[in-house]
Amino acid sequence: MIEKIAQIKEEIEKRTISDEDELEAFRLEFLSRNGKVQKMFGEMGSVPPKERATVGKAMNEVKQLAAKRFEEEKKKLESSTTREFGALDDITLPVEPTYTGSFHPLTQALDEIKQIFLRLGFNVADGPELEDDFHNFTALNFPPDHPARDMQDTFFVRKSDKKDEEDLVLRTHTSPVQIRLMKDQDPPLRSIMPGRVYRNEAVTAKSYFQFNQVEGLYLDEGVTMGELIETLVMFARLMYGADVKYRVRPSYFPFTEPSLEMDVWWESEKGGQWLEILGAGMVDPNVLTAAGVDPEKYTGFAFGMGVDRIAMLKYGIDDIRLLYENDLRFLNQFSS
Ligand code: DAH
């Protein structure tokens, strides 16, 4: 009997198992109810009683061996990822590229603006796109009958007759984020505030009912107009190149005094022209007061620029609508 057991043990050890079929054949031959191991136990009756302990132990070892081999081979087959190479397989072929998408041109332009201002010591803040009249207009020193409040320009979400209830608007610029920032944080503040804005304008190649702006605010004791201009020139140089031709001219905004606009000289096939890139100025004392900042102690400068214009110039896009239609034929051109 002991010899027979040793023989089964050897068979179990030597059997080659290289696929599912062979594994199943192994199971049937050794582990099933009619398999060799079970049969071997069935012969226990013919073993003399005093040898039974030794024989029983040997049989159990063989049974465990078969079960262990089965589990090991099963695992091996499950985890194996190899497959046979066929005649058509060419392992030198390059892998098909996976299309991973790309950053939207507006995102790329915004990233560049952010990088520049982070270098200049600004951080990034944001505010809601749904604003109340106070933050979008009143606190920014817009007189009650200012044309920008007009239905023509502003998307009103809630027009209220009640005295204690604000009109709600889709923000028409990112300037209201300045107010929120000044209300929330103590000076010194040095932040840029990017975001989407909305205006009820006719849709053409040059204008759209939504676009993107980056607002900037620097508030501290003794901030000067000189620092404002220095910051803007630095920005223009980093954005458009060290030899950029620029000019700064006086302008008007309700929320700054004095106010200015900056243009850069843009060469194109049709010839050169001045293009306005941003508005800016020293924050009006009325605005500081509305935001809870003491205008006797603090001064600040602010600026606002359009991201769409920058992206369009940079990538030679001549129709703003392309930036919002998400046509893949357009977007795929911006993958790097
Ligand atoms: N809010 C202005 C606009 O939408 C842009 C602007 C001009 C922002 C001057 C400013 C500023 O902060 O100082 O046209």
Evaluate: CB of 253 within 6 angstroms of ligand 1.
yes
Q: Which residue has the higher pLDDT, 43 or 191?
A: 191
Q: What is the pLDDT of residue 271?
A: 85
Average pLDDT over residues 4-14: 93
Hey, whose CA ends up nearest to atom 12 of ligand 1?
303
Ligand 1, closest atom to CA 173?
4
- The predicted-structure confidence for 281-306, as pLDDT tens digits, reads as follows 999 999 999 999 999 999 999 999 99
Q: What is the pLDDT of residue 314?
A: 82
Structure tokens at 199: 């205006």
Name which of 19-23, 151-155, 226-230 the model is least confident about: 151-155
- The predicted-structure confidence for 200-217, as pLDDT tens digits, reads as follows 999 999 899 999 999 999
**Domain boundaries of the chain, sorted by first residue:** 2-88, 105-334
With the most atoms of ligand 1 within 8 angstroms of its CB, the residue from 131, 149, 212, 253 to mutate is: 253
Distance CA 299, CA 212 (A): 27
Evaluate: CB of 173 within 6 angstroms of ligand 1.
yes
| Contact status, residue 39 vs residue 89, Cβ threshold 8 Å | no
Q: What is the pLDDT of residue 145?
A: 85
| Contact status, residue 305 vs residue 209, Cβ threshold 8 Å | no
Q: What is the pLDDT of residue 87?
A: 66
- The predicted-structure confidence for 311-332, as pLDDT tens digits, reads as follows 998 888 989 999 999 999 999 8
| Contact status, residue 219 vs residue 187, Cβ threshold 8 Å | yes
- The predicted-structure confidence for 242-295, as pLDDT tens digits, reads as follows 999 999 999 999 999 999 999 999 887 778 889 899 999 999 999 999 999 999
Tell me: cis bond preceding 254? Omega within 30 of 0 counts. Answer: no
Q: What is the pLDDT of residue 335?
A: 79
Q: What is the pLDDT of residue 152?
A: 72
Ligand 1, closest atom to CA 217?
12
Ligand 1, closest atom to CA 305?
5
Q: What is the CATH topology of the domain spanning 105-334? A: BirA Bifunctional Protein; domain 2 (3.30.930)
Q: What is the pLDDT of residue 193?
A: 98
Q: Which residue has the higher pLDDT, 140 or 146?
A: 140
Evaluate: CB of 195 within 6 angstroms of ligand 1.
no
Of 282, 302, 297, residue with least CA distance to 187: 297
With the most atoms of ligand 1 within 8 angstroms of its CB, the residue from 141, 173, 235 to mutate is: 173
Ligand 1, closest atom to CA 281?
13
Evaluate: CB of 303 within 6 angstroms of ligand 1.
yes
